[in-house]
């Protein structure tokens, strides 16, 4: 396959050098103003402001105008992989994120523990965001009853909170199957449905449909599930698919690429593009900032491209909690000086998608982008959705960010004479 933009250009022009790029992803950072302020603009961020004044700013579209990206496509774009070409299922990303080594014939799906009402309609797609501990109990109960469906080996794995991963192992399993998650409350669970006429896809759909029924049956017999508030009485599956083969970012860009992220999903997408995940203490839950910082301090100079993930900005956007989202930005501002002590030559700060508080969900809104290096045209402004509008970077796309970072790091040769 001919590599899509920008990978072909990067492969052709990249020069190995010891300059270092830091990419900070504030998950779901983009928002829309309420009373003139977004969670980002409302935050008190002296460190970010100082960096921003010396940086070029812009508004960046993740996939295409109006298209709301999932976290997988959002990150693939940031890493230079066109998500319209590299269409990776969420299940695969989640599986990789919990260190499941997916084989070529295997199928992964991302599962949500969910709450259904008496009419069988989805009442809570996340069953009240149950704890990881309860998730583990429920998975243990399900595994005791379910290990095989229609001749296919079924594995169930806790991811975190309400999230789990399904892995199917067997002959003749296709990956083109639609979500059973209807994506909204008040609707019925969708039947697992093959998205092609392929028999292998029908087989996978049939297994996953039966698995969904079995899970609901088993959960109805598990006291901690029945008695939870809200009750955990079913599952929703999405992002069903097989693992694609992606070129490695380090080979394309002639550098070592590392990823510091606490949540499995983000470690998964990093590994998918061939990044290393340096050692990090993943005990506990949530942001785990001290662990990420410790890993950063120990390893920031081991990589010429280092991705650093901040999760909770997205979570509070999904919860519709503007004040908490602002607090997360301020918490990030507090650790920014420590990140800059690693002396990166280029810093990019942006998000993988917007998660506006009024929407309580991912959105299509372009992301504020900050690009700092010794060679940028400084805009002298703040890193907010409003100030990024009309910045030196103009309107750009997430796929443009890796080439820009590479250029600013002196890692790209001239195109043509």
Residues in CB range of 125: below 8 A, 6 or more apart: 112, 114, 181, 183, 184, 185, 236
| Shortest distance (Å) from residue 28 CB to a second copy | 12
Binding to a second copy by residue 244, rule CB under 8 A?
Answer: no
- Applying CB under 8 A, among 19, 68, 206, 289 the residue interacting with a second copy is 68
Residue tagged 């017999």 (tokens): 221
Q: Please, what is the end-to-end C-alpha distance for the chain in angstroms?
A: 27
Residue 400, interface with a second copy (CB under 8 A)? yes
- Using the rule CB under 8 A, is 152 a contact of a second copy? no
Which one of 264, 287, 362, 383 is in contact with a second copy (CB under 8 A)? Answer: 362
Number of residues that bind a second copy (CB under 8 A): 70
Does residue 28 touch a second copy according to CB under 8 A?
Answer: no
Of 45, 52, 71, 300, the one binding a second copy by CB under 8 A = 71
Task: Verify binding: residue 413, a second copy, rule CB under 8 A.
Answer: yes
Do 204 and 171 meet the contact criterion of CB atoms below 8 Å apart? Answer: no
Positive or negative, the CA dihedral 177, 83, 312, 272 is positive
Bond into 6 cis (ω within 30): yes
Beta-carbon contacts of residue 57 (< 8 Å; ≥ 6 apart)? 368, 369, 370, 371, 379, 381, 383, 387, 388, 391, 392, 393
Query: Which residue, 73 or 170, is less far from a second copy as judged by CB?
Result: 73
What's the CA gap between 48 and 334, in Å, rounded? Answer: 9
E-state strands within 207-300: 234-241, 257-260
Return the number of the residue (50 or 361) whose C-beta is nearest a second copy.
361
Q: How far is the CB of 36 from a second copy (least distance, A)?
A: 9
Nearer to a second copy, 75 or 288 (CB): 75
Nearer CB in complex with a second copy: 146/361 = 361
Between residue 80 and residue 99, which ones bind a second copy under the rule CB under 8 A?
A: 83-84, 87-90, 93
Beta-carbon count within 10 A of 264 CB: 23
CA torsion angle for 93, 98, 103, 106 (degrees, to 10)?
Answer: -70
Which CB atom, from 35 or from 229, has the smaller least distance to a second copy? 35
Task: Report which DSSP code applies to 242.
Answer: P
Q: Report phi then psi at 310, rounded to 5.
A: -120, 120
Single residue of 128, 234, 258, 356 touching a second copy by CB under 8 A = 356
Q: What is the DSSP letter of 93?
A: H
Pick the binder of a second copy from 16, 64, 144, 188 (CB under 8 A): 64
Closer to a second copy by CB, 56 or 212: give it.
Answer: 56
Choose between 206 and 395: whose C-beta lies nearer to a second copy: 395
Q: Cα separation of 188 and 180, whole Å?
A: 9
Q: Does 359 help bind a second copy (rule: CB under 8 A)?
A: yes
Query: Footprint of a second copy on residues 182-241 (CB under 8 A)?
Result: 183, 238-239
Q: Is 66 in the site for a second copy (CB under 8 A)?
A: yes
d(CA 360, CA 413): 43
| Shortest Cβ 188–a second copy spacing (Å) | 17
User: Is the N-terminal amide bond of 321 cis, ω within 30° of 0?
Assistant: no
CA-nearest of 188, 169, 191, 172 to 180 is 191
Closer CB to a second copy, residue 32 or residue 340? 32
> Of the listed pieces 199-207, 286-294, 308-316, 388-396, which binds a second copy according to CB under 8 A?
388-396
Interface with a second copy (CB under 8 A), residue from 3, 4, 11, 32? 32
Binding site for a second copy (CB under 8 A): 5-6, 9, 13, 32-33, 58-59, 63-73, 83-84, 87-90, 93, 110, 183, 238-239, 356, 358-359, 361-366, 374-379, 385-386, 389-396, 400-408, 412-417
């Amino acid at each position: 396959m001919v590599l899509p933009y920008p990978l072909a250009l990067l492969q052709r022009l990249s020069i190995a050098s010891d300059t270092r790029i830091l990419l900070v992803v504030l998950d779901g950072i983009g928002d829309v103003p309420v009373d003139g302020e977004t969670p980002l603009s409302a935050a008190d961020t002296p460190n970010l402001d100082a960096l921003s004044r010396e940086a070029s700013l812009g508004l960046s579209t993740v996939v295409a105008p109006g298209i709301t990206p999932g976290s997988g496509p959002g990150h693939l774009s940031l890493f230079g992989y066109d998500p319209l070409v590299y269409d990776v299922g969420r299940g695969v990303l989640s599986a990789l994120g919990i260190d499941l080594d997916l084989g070529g014939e295997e199928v992964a799906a991302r599962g949500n523990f969910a709450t259904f009402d008496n009419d069988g309609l989805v009442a809570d797609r996340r069953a009240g965001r149950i704890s990881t501990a309860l998730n583990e109990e429920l998975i243990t109960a399900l595994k005791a009853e379910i290990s095989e469906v229609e001749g296919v080996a079924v594995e169930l794995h806790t991811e975190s909170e309400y999230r789990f991963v399904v892995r199917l192992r067997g002959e003749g399993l296709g990956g083109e199957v639609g979500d059973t998650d209807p994506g909204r409350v008040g609707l019925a669970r969708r039947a697992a449905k093959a998205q092609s006429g392929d028999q292998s896809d029908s087989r996978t759909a049939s297994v996953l449909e039966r698995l969904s029924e079995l899970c609901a049956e088993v959960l109805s017999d598990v006291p901690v599930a029945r008695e939870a508030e809200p009750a955990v009485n079913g599952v929703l599956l999405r992002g069903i698919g097989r693992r694609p083969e992606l070129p490695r970012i380090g080979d394309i860009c002639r550098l070592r690429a590392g990823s510091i992220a606490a949540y499995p999903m983000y470690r998964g997408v990093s590994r998918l593009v061939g990044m290393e995940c340096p050692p990090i203490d993943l005990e506990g839950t949530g942001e785990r900032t001290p662990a990420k910082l410790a890993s950063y301090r120990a390893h920031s100079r081991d990589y010429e491209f280092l991705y650093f993930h901040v999760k909770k900005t997205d979570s509070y956007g999904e919860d519709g909690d503007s004040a908490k989202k602002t607090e997360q930005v301020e918490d990030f501002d507090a650790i920014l000086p420590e990140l800059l002590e690693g002396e990166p030559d280029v810093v990019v700060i942006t998000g993988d998608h917007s998660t506006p508080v009024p929407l309580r969900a991912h959105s299509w809104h372009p992301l504020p982008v900050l690009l700092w290096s010794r060679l940028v045209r400084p805009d002298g402004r703040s890193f907010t959705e409003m100030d990024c509008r009309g910045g030196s970077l103009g309107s750009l796309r997430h796929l443009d960010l890796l080439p820009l970072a590479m250029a600013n790091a002196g890692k790209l040769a001239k195109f043509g004479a």
